[in-house]
Amino acid sequence: MKADRASSMVWMAVGLLSIYGSFQLGLGTLGEPGSGFLSFLAGSFICLMALIVFIQSFLQGKGFQVKISTLWKGIRWYRSALVGLLLLVYILVLEWIGFLLTTFLIVLAMVKGVERLSWGKALLISISASAVCYLVFDKLLKAALPRGLLGF
């Protein structure tokens, strides 16, 4: 599927949902605009622009269109996917395991799993990165970082 065609359909859905939500909030009158007035205008505009991009995707010549599959062709997309997944895991376990240990494990997973550094370098980077962040933010700047099960 063409990239522009697919993306315009997604934005069209976003626009339609916001129009629906705006009606729920109430549009008010022009003299006294309601809570959903501006979001209604924004949603309508998103739909209009999405429609233009959608139509353009049919009018443009073949040479000017990009297929979705080509967007991830010939690149190391799995690295960004893995990092995205690791960040998600980080969010899920941060408050449970605590800042220091979670940060150490996640940085280790990134430099070892994504960058394929040697164990020595990976451990050095992950220990120093988590320790420096802990000292600077928790101890120096007194930011309330989550302590978790282990208490640090």
Partner 1 sequence: MDFFSNLIIGLSVALEPTNLLYCFIGVFVGTLVGVLPGIGPVGTMAILLPVTFGLSPTSGIIMLAGIYYGAMYGGSTTSILINLPGEAASVVTTLDGYQMALQGRAGPALGIAAFGSLIAGTLGVIGLQAIAPPLVSVALRFGPPEYFSLMILGLIILTYLAQKSMPKALMMAAVGVLLGTIGLDAINGMPRFTFDIPEFLDGVGLVPLAMGLFGISEVLLNLEKTISREIYDTSLKSLLPTLKDWTQSIWAILRGTVVGFCIGALPGPGTSVSSFVSYALEKRVSKHPEKFGHGAIEGVAGPESANNSATAGAMVPLLTMGIPGSLAAAMLLGALMIHGITPGPMLVKQHPDLFWGVIASMYIGNIMLLIINLPLIAIWVRLLRVPYAIFFPMILLLCLIGSYTLNNSTVDVSLMLFFGVVGYLMRKFEYEAAPLVLAFVLTPIMENALRQSLILSSGSFSIFLLRPISSGCLILAGFLLLTSVFPIARKKKARDGKRAG
Number of shown-chain residues binding partner 1 (CB under 8 A): 66
User: What's the closest the beta carbon of residue 104 comes to partner 1, in angstroms?
Assistant: 11
Contact status: 97 vs partner 1 (CB under 8 A): no
Binding of partner 1 by 143 (CB under 8 A): yes
Contact between 102 and 90 (Cβ < 8 Å): yes
Work out whether 91 is an interface residue with partner 1 (CB under 8 A).
yes
Tell which positions 106-125 bind partner 1, by CB under 8 A.
107, 110-111, 114-115, 117, 125
Asked if residues 57 and 66 have their Cβ atoms less than 8 Å apart, the reply is no
Q: Is 87 in the site for partner 1 (CB under 8 A)?
A: yes
d(C-alpha 10, C-alpha 97), whole Å = 37
Q: Residue 34 is encoded by which pair of tokens?
A: 């309601």
Question: Of 144 and 150, which has the nearer Cβ to partner 1?
Answer: 144
Distance of alpha carbon 149 from alpha carbon 152, whole angstroms: 8
The answer to whether residue 42 forms part of the interface with partner 1 (CB under 8 A) is: yes
With H, G, I as helix, E, B as strand and everything else as coil, classify residue 27. coil
Note whether 57 and 5 are within 8 A (CB): yes
Residue 75 lies near partner 1 (rule: CB under 8 A): yes
95 CB neighbour count, 10 Å cutoff? 13
Q: Please give the Cα distance from 32 to 37 (Å, whole number).
A: 10
Residues that bind partner 1 (CB under 8 A): 3-4, 7, 11, 14-15, 18, 21, 25, 29-33, 35-39, 41-43, 45-46, 49-50, 52-53, 56, 59-61, 63-64, 71-72, 75-77, 79-80, 83-84, 87-88, 90-91, 94-95, 103, 107, 110-111, 114-115, 117, 125-126, 129, 133, 137, 141, 143-146
